[in-house]
A and B are shown apart, each in its own frame.
Chain A
């Protein structure tokens, strides 16, 4: 399968917790990776693997997975966390292709 579905938009109060979900059959086989994109900027990897963060990504970003759903949680959201978030996985059709989710716009209130 090569579809990853995300909620179009979520909002979170400053300092609160928000969970962004990504649903797709491929997530039963592969962990998702997550990317943050701010307006006019390139995407930045924030979470990959079971729950790993690249150097420099705050530990308020965490990932998890259950069944066909992957989640990115921001615990104690900050104003600078506002932006678009995309999940990414590999398809399971045998083509070994990558594909992205539909994206979630996160607004910090």
Chain B
């Protein structure tokens, strides 16, 4: 069974750094083609894609948040870690990690997140 589970603090003060861990099971982070992403959702708002890390350690970031985000993985621990600096009240959200897959059906390629964690809610308040 493939599972992902987010963990981290539930409450932060403004300017603090958020560190979230996604612990995966049922698949390996170093399997060719594998990637894991982070997504957040402010209360009552839409999903926002944050970052992605590939099996070969290639990393992608949302351009609007790139200066604040760092994504890493520890294959031996089956964990993907997201850090987000300088947190503010507008960053209050539920954060999800998800496994991302890819496929093709000529002439199109496609990408999808097939398994999601249950999410962890982070509140930023003084």
The residues of A with any CB-CB pair to B shorter than 8 Å are 29-33, 35, 37, 42-45, 48-50, 54, 65, 86, 88-90, 95-103
Contacts and interface: CB of A to CB of B under 8 A. Distances in A.
Contacts of A29: 108-109
A35 B113 contact: yes
The 9 closest A-B pairs by CB, nearest first: A33-B112, A48-B112, A31-B110, A100-B47, A42-B116, A103-B46, A50-B105, A98-B49, A49-B110
Contacts, number: 83
Interface size range on B against A: 20 to 34
A103 B116 contact: no
What secondary structure prevails in chain A residues at the interface with B? strand
A33 B113 contact: yes
Among A33, A42, A86, the most chain B Cβ lie within 10 Å of the Cβ of A42
Interface string B39-68: 100000011110010000000111100000
B113 A30 contact: no
Interface in B96-113: 96, 98, 100, 103, 105, 108-113
What secondary structure prevails in chain B residues at the interface with A? strand
Interface of B: 37, 39, 46-49, 52, 60-63, 96, 98, 100, 103, 105, 108-119
A30 B105 CA distance: 10
Given A35-B113, A44-B116, A89-B111, 6 more contacts: A30-B109, A33-B112, A42-B96, A42-B119, A43-B96, A45-B112
A49 B113 contact: no
Contact of B46 (A45, A48, A86, A90): A86
Contacts of A98: 37, 49, 52, 60, 100, 111
Contacts of B112: 33, 45, 48-49, 88
A11 to B, nearest CB: 19
B46 A102 contact: yes
Nearest to A47: B112
B64 to A, nearest CB: 10
25 contacts: A30-B111, A31-B110, A32-B110, A33-B113, A35-B113, A37-B47, A42-B117, A42-B119, A43-B39, A43-B96, A45-B114, A48-B114, A49-B103, A49-B112, A54-B114, A65-B108, A86-B47, A88-B49, A88-B112, A88-B113, A97-B49, A97-B52, A97-B62, A98-B37, A100-B49
